[in-house]
Structure 1
Amino acid sequence: MSAAAELRGVRVRYGLLEALHGIDLACPAGRVTVLLGRNGSGRSTVLHTLAGSVRPAAGRVFCQGRDVTGLDPHRRARLGTALVPSEQAVFESLTVAEQLSLGGPGPADAGFPELAPLLHRRAGDLSGGQRQLVALGRALLTRPRLLLLDEPGRGLAPAVLRRLHGTLLDLAAEGRTVVLAEQTLPRALDRPGTVLHLLRRGRVAFSGEPAELRPGAADQA
């Protein structure tokens, strides 16, 4: 099983605070990987380190077998990495249509029919859930090889979230790699083939598949 994205001995510091303590973590190609943990466990930092928006103080970052530690986010994006952060994921001054056009060619609503009546509205005027759909749609339109999502279900209706999880599984089946940061494992992804990394205070406490995780372990993260 080859790793599409990997951290090797990565330490990340924010001032005097060390958020990641020399962790090793691999996200296999063609799989959905879920980073589990409480707020402050390091999940978001892992995503931003993979995307290049956070630079490690030590260690190396690899994507598709290439050392990308020194590459900025724009160069990693050109290599096929897309990040949907938990905050500030849209350009508020652009309309929904303009925002989605940045992702590339595809359906005008990016596959989310909920966006069709909103195409001419400014993204800054939308609700939190609508903004999340815009950010997700733009990322999906880039057809990324590595898709990084920070709690993507925030603000989404259950039916929309189920469709999103199905889309993510389809992307993995195509050979793409999806990495999500979540506080709990989504039911749709609790299946063989999903890869879990349980983070606890900036360290990896468990790596494996859902069936291997001791019941209650994630609640103790």
Structure 2
Amino acid sequence: MTVEAALYGVRVRYGPLEALHGVDLEFPAGAVTVLLGRNGSGRTSALHALAGLVRPAAGRVIWQGRDVTALGAHQRVRRGMALVPAERAVFASLTVAEHLGLGGATSGEALDLFPELSALLPRPAGTLSGGQQQLVAVARALTCGPRLLLLDEPDRGLAPAVTARLHAHLLATAAAEGRTVVLTAQSLPRGLAGAAVVHVLHRGEVGFSGEPSELSTRPAGAW
């Protein structure tokens, strides 16, 4: 399986605290990878290292076969990477329609997938609920057609039916369009049982890497 992106020996520190302890993580091309772990496990730090929001204290970030450790976040965005953080992912003063049209994108795909947004198009994003803001942020990222899409707990605040639709769409577009998706969750969502790889992080270290079916056979507390 071709590797789209990877972290090799990556350490991430915030002052005296180390969030990632030299982790090795590979993310297959054209597939969905799920990063699992509890709060504080290092999931978000791994995404931020991939996105260029934090500079590793050690190790390398590889993307498309290149060492991009020294590239800034804006440079990675220009090359086709998109990150949807778990919080504060929208511009409060812009309307939903403006979010979906940023960069010349069209809102058709987003509204087909999330018709719930149609009634919200004229509203400023700052007036929406947390779940609605999350939906806008995810929809906006999808309209950009990124090569590598990073999602930090994208189902936070979403209705179960919307979450199921999103997961099905991510799996389908990864397979059909060659899009690579990395998302975080505290437990493996049922709708992502078809993901290619699951990595489990525990206290900044990798406790498990494998297929979802392998994860289900491991005893609780095995990492």
Q: TM-score, normalised by structure 1?
A: 0.95
Distance 1:109 1:146, change over 3 A: closer
The answer for the alignment partner of 1:97 in structure 2 is: 97
Unmatched tracts of structure 2, length 5 or more:
none
Bigger CA drift: 16-25 or 166-175? 166-175
Does the 8 A contact of 1:104 with 1:141 survive in 2? no
Distance (Å, rounded) in 2 between the aligned partners of 1:142 and 1:35: 23
The answer for the alignment partner of 2:211 in structure 1 is: 209
Distance (Å, rounded) in 1 between the aligned partners of 2:220 and 2:198: 10
State the shift of 1:5 in Å.
1.0
The answer for the alignment partner of 1:183 in structure 2 is: 186
**What is the root-mean-square deviation in Å for CA atoms of aligned residues?**
1.5
Does the 8 A contact of 1:109 with 1:116 survive in 2? no
The answer for the alignment partner of 1:165 in structure 2 is: 167
Distance 1:187 1:104, change over 3 A: farther
Which whole-Å deviations, capped at 9, do the CAs of 1:173-198 have from their partners, x for residues lacking one? 0211000100000101113x520001
Distance (Å, rounded) in 1 between the aligned partners of 2:33 and 2:208: 13
Distance (Å, rounded) in 2 between the aligned partners of 1:32 and 1:218: 24
Distance (Å, rounded) in 1 between the aligned partners of 2:221 and 2:129: 30
Does the 8 A contact of 2:109 with 2:143 survive in 1? no
Which whole-Å deviations, capped at 9, do the CAs of 1:98-149 have from their partners, x for residues lacking one? 1111254223572321111111111000001110111001100110110100
The answer for the alignment partner of 1:14 in structure 2 is: 14
The question of 1:27 aligning with 2:30 is answered no
State the shift of 1:12 in Å.
0.4
Amino acid aligned to 1:178: V
Q: TM-score, normalised by structure 2?
A: 0.94
The question of 1:37 aligning with 2:37 is answered yes
State the shift of 1:216 in Å.
5.6
Distance 1:99 1:107, change over 3 A: closer
Alignment of 1:51-200 (within 5 A): 51-102=51-102, 104-108=104-108, 110-111=110-111, 112-173=114-175, 174-191=177-194, 193-200=195-202
- Secondary structure of 1:93's partner? coil
Distance 1:103 1:156, change over 3 A: farther
The answer for the alignment partner of 1:5 in structure 2 is: 5
Amino acid aligned to 1:140: L
Unmatched tracts of structure 1, length 5 or more:
none
Distance (Å, rounded) in 1 between the aligned partners of 2:149 and 2:155: 15
State the shift of 1:65 in Å.
1.0
Alignment length, in residue pairs?
A: 220
- Secondary structure of 1:135's partner? helix
Distance 1:60 1:79, change over 3 A: same
